[in-house]
Amino acid sequence: MKEQDRFRSVLIFGGAGFIGSNWAHRLLETSEAKVHVFDNLSRHGVRHNLESLQRAAGKSGRLQITVGDVRDAASVERVARHATEIYNFAAQVAVTTSIQDPRLDFQVNAQGTFNVLEGARKSGNLPFLLFTSTNKVYGDLGIRQLRGTLKRYVLEGCGVSETQPLDFHSPYGCSKGAADQYVRDYARIYDLPSLVLRMSCIAGPRQFGNEEQGWVAHFVYSALTGAPLTIYGDGRQLRDVLCVHDLLRVFETVREHKAVIPGQVYNVGGGPQNTISLLELIDEIECFTGRRLHYELEESRPGDQLAYVTNFAKLHHDTGWTPQYSVRDTVAEIYRWWQRNRQLLAPARVPARLAARGWEELPEAAA
């Protein structure tokens, strides 16, 4: 066993969510790490994710669950004391919610991340710390005129690199951008081995996609359940899609290179080979499922990017990582997960604003 694989105590903020639960499950399945999930359980479906993690952990004693909120600095500091690795996935993730309630957005994304950084610093352990940021920190990319075809906008070149200037165009972009700059600076000022991943569209199993976020899964579920779909804009908006399984490989490879990446920022996404527009995704899903997807068009929403494609050349250069799953592979992964868990995709939704404020205060429990 490698020295870096010994005595791993992994703390995952937002560990019951889409990315966090996938990462926790991977660690339980492929390592001997102790996994500590910290989550406020506000999102739809996360209790199911916890049950799945408990089954994966069995009687190993390697899984610990704390119900708490990153806005609670004392709780964050307490759970961070003995961690050797910290992953901060806890976030308010919707641009629309950030516009409706910018204070909540700031408290969760900016102040919550600051609390995590302070917990890591005060622990004295210099834990490896990874923060997931967003492509929204680049704003609208200064794009006013785009070449378009019938089904998509076309973004010339090889995608957006880390040299793209920051340009926040929503409270969400501001809060995540402020957070990722704090993560960078804690590496410089306090020698904390931390890094930032600015992510594009991540999709895959365990994602309870809805209109506000997780659009690939939302489109798939809408087709499978016959639910109508609303597209904001003309549907030609372009994105690159990355399967969550490929993202987990990013986590693994940056940890392996943690001695040389403190303070670095990496753009992470499917890249030019995995681009698709909303209209093209509808065609793909209809072909894959054999079901018609009914939709209507509405006006574009504030903060939306007409086109974004990740240039992950820096990450590839530093670690050798490259995506392995295509967009079609990712749709298939979502479909297979839905087949096993369709009862969880109930139409009822707790409003995001209420859910985020209704987190439970329960005692710490070992699963």
**CB contact set of 332 (below 8 Å; sequence gap of 6+):** 288
- Rounded CA gap, 109 and 113, in Å? 6
**CB contact set of 61 (below 8 Å; sequence gap of 6+):** 366
Q: Please state, in angstroms and as integers, the Cα–Cα distance from residue 236 to each residue in 1, 33, 104, 227, 231, following that order.
A: 49, 43, 31, 21, 10
Are the CB atoms for 37 and 331 separated by under 8 Å? no
Are the CB atoms for 50 and 94 separated by under 8 Å? no
Are the CB atoms for 123 and 84 separated by under 8 Å? no
Tokens matching residue 91: 């976030």
Instruction: Indicate which residues carry an active-site annotation.
Output: 172
CA angle (284 as vertex; 281, 285 as ends), nearest 5? 85
Tokens matching residue 98: 């950030």
Strand segments, DSSP code E, in the chain are 9-13, 34-39, 63-67, 85-88, 128-134, 147-148, 153-154, 194-199, 201-203, 229-232, 238-243, 265-268, 275-277, 295-298, 365-366
**CB contact set of 50 (below 8 Å; sequence gap of 6+):** 16, 21, 37, 39, 41, 65, 367
354: left (phi over 0), alpha (psi -120 to 50) or beta: alpha
* Neighbour-count burial of 146, counting CB atoms closer than 10 A to its CB (0-12 exposed, 13-18 middle, 19+ buried): middle
Tokens matching residue 326: 């295509």
Q: Which of 85, 10, 70, 5 is nearest to 40 (CA)?
A: 70
